[in-house]
C-alpha cells in the first residue's frame, strides 16, 4: 500500500490490534483503517498550538507531542501527553528555566519512560548556539514528573536518542566542544533507572548522525555522514 500524506507528518504507528494506522499531521491525529486505508477518525484538533514533533508508544495508544502556542512567537516548547483512544490530555511538561526549549521526545519500549532533550539558552551558556541541546530529561510517562537529568560535561549537543530493546538503557550521540576548531563526538549509553553512564566511545571519524540498536539489543549501529558507512559497536562495551 502507498499512503500519500503531507511532509509535516510526525510519526506513523500501528494500533495494538494492528487494525489502524495512526499518525500526527498538521496538529491533528489521523487514523486509517487497515487494510483498505479508509479514514476512520480525526482526533483532537489543537487550534491554538503547532505540533512540531513527537511520537507514539509501541501500541499507538499514547502520543507525546512537542507543541508551541501559535500566538506567542518566542514561547518555549512543551510536551503534551495524550491518550489516543479516549481523546484525553494526560499531562503537560515544560522546562521552567528561562528561554529553555525541548526537542523531540522518545518513548522507552515498555512505555514507562519518555526521554526528551532540553535546548540551552544563550543566557546560560553564551558560547553555545541556541539550536543545540545539552541535557536529557527523563520523565515518568505515567505522571509527567521529571525522573532524572543527564548533563554530560562539556556537551553542546545531544542527538539521535534511542532506547535499547527490552531495556531501560538509552543511547545518544553527544558532541563536545574540545577546542575552538572542531567538536569531539561520542556515543554514550546511560541507564535511565539508575542514572549510571554504562559506556562511552569516541567516534570522531565519519561524523556520526544516527544511532540504532539491533533487534536483540546486542549491537549498536552508527551511521556516518563523512564516510557514508555504518559503524557496528558492541552494545555492552561500545567497542568495535
Cα–Cα distance for residue pair 9/27, rounded to 1 Å: 10
For residue 152, what is the DSSP state?
-
CA distances from 84 to 29, 60, 68 (A): 8, 8, 20
pLDDT digits (tens, 9 = 90+) for 15-24: 878 888 877 7
192, 208, 14, 142 alpha-carbon torsion, rounded to 10°: 20
For residue 37, what is the DSSP state?
-
Q: What is the pLDDT, as a whole number, of residue 178?
A: 58
Residue with cell 495524550: 82
**Burial group, residue 26, by CB count within 10 angstroms (0-12, 13-18, 19+):** middle
The answer on pLDDT for 129 being more than 60 is no
Q: What angle do CA 63, 64, 67 make, to 5 degrees?
A: 125
Cα–Cα distance for residue pair 166/111, rounded to 1 Å: 11
Does the pTM exceed 0.75? yes
Q: Are 137 and 162 in contact (CB under 8 A)?
A: no
pLDDT digits (tens, 9 = 90+) for 102-112: 888 999 999 99
Q: Are 222 and 211 in contact (CB under 8 A)?
A: yes
Cα–Cα distance for residue pair 226/172, rounded to 1 Å: 19
b (16+ CB within 10 A) / e for 148-164: eebebeebbbbbbbbbb
Percentage of the chain with pLDDT > 90?
Answer: 30
Amino acid at each position: 500500500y502507498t499512503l500519500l500524506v503531507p511532509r509535516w507528518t510526525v510519526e506513523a504507528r500501528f494500533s495494538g490490534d494492528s487494525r489502524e494506522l495512526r499518525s500526527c499531521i498538521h496538529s491533528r491525529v489521523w487514523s486509517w483503517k487497515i487494510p483498505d486505508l479508509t479514514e476512520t477518525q480525526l482526533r483532537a484538533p489543537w487550534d491554538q498550538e503547532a505540533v512540531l514533533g513527537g511520537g507514539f508508544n509501541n501500541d499507538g495508544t499514547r502520543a507525546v507531542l512537542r507543541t508551541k502556542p501559535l500566538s506567542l512567537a518566542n514561547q518555549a516548547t512543551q510536551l503534551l501527553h495524550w491518550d489516543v483512544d479516549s481523546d484525553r490530555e494526560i499531562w503537560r511538561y515544560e522546562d521552567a528555566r528561562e528561554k529553555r526549549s525541548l526537542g523531540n521526545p522518545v518513548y522507552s519500549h515498555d512505555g514507562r519512560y519518555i526521554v526528551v532533550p532540553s535546548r540551552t539558552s544563550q543566557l546560560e551558556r553564551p558560547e553555545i548556539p541556541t539550536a543545540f541541546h545539552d541535557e536529557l530529561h527523563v520523565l515518568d510517562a505515567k505522571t509527567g514528573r521529571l525522573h532524572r537529568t543527564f548533563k554530560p560535561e562539556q556537551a553542546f549537543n545531544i542527538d539521535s536518542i534511542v532506547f535499547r530493546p527490552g531495556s531501560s538503557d538509552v543511547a545518544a550521540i553527544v558532541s563536545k566542544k574540545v577546542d575552538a576548531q572542531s567538536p569531539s563526538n561520542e556515543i554514550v549509553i546511560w541507564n535511565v533507572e539508575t542514572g549510571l553512564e554504562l559506556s562511552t566511545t569516541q567516534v570522531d571519524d565519519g561524523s556520526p548522525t544516527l544511532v540504532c540498536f539491533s533487534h536483540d539489543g546486542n549491537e549498536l549501529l552508527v551511521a556516518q555522514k563523512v564516510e557514508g558507512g555504518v559503524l557496528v559497536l558492541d552494545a555492552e562495551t561500545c567497542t568495535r
